[in-house]
């Protein structure tokens, strides 16, 4: 691979202004992309940046805050970490699936606490083929 192919086609500066408790904080964020302006116009670049927060808020926040993953996942081997991480993500997927159509969704933390008492059905779900699993 030639080094010339690794360069940025666009560089953008994103100015952010956030007001919290009456105080406004100004920050600058620099964005780079290898896609050209024709491939990724300015509005699309901003939308791509915003979409990153969908992942952060949709999964990572749930795992880190509600699931307390950073504190709970203390393991000694890489294999153990991989298995527990996978199970945490399966747990979040099951929680999201059980919340569909509910007028008042249950928090992930409360849902997880309730499931500790009935882990048998979770294990049964993992043992079944996806087409046969009942939610």
Whether 4 has a pLDDT exceeding 70, the answer reads no
Per-residue pLDDT tens over the stretch 104-116: 888 888 888 888 8
Do residues 73 and 88 touch, judged by C-beta distance below 8 A? Answer: yes
User: Which range has the top average pLDDT, 50-64, 66-80, 102-116?
Assistant: 102-116
- Give the β-pairing of 10-20 and 23-33: antiparallel
CA dihedral sign of residues 112, 118, 123, 125: negative
Query: Is the model more confident about 111 or about 121?
Result: 111
Whether 100 has a pLDDT exceeding 50, the answer reads yes
Q: Where are the domains of the chain?
A: 75-127
């Amino acid at each position: 691979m030639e080094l010339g192919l690794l360069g940025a086609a666009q560089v953008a500066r994103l100015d952010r202004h956030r007001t919290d408790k009456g105080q406004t904080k100004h920050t600058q964020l620099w964005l780079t992309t290898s896609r050209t302006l024709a491939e990724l116009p300015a509005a699309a670049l901003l939308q791509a940046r915003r979409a990153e927060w969908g992942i952060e808020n949709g999964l990572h926040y749930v795992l880190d805050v509600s699931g307390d993953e950073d504190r709970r996942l203390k393991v000694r081997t890489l294999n153990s970490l991989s298995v527990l991480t996978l199970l945490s993500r399966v747990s979040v997927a099951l929680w999201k699936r059980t919340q569909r159509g509910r007028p008042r969704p249950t928090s992930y933390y409360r849902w997880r606490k309730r499931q500790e008492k009935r882990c048998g059905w979770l294990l049964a779900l993992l043992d079944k083929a996806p087409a046969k699993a009942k939610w």
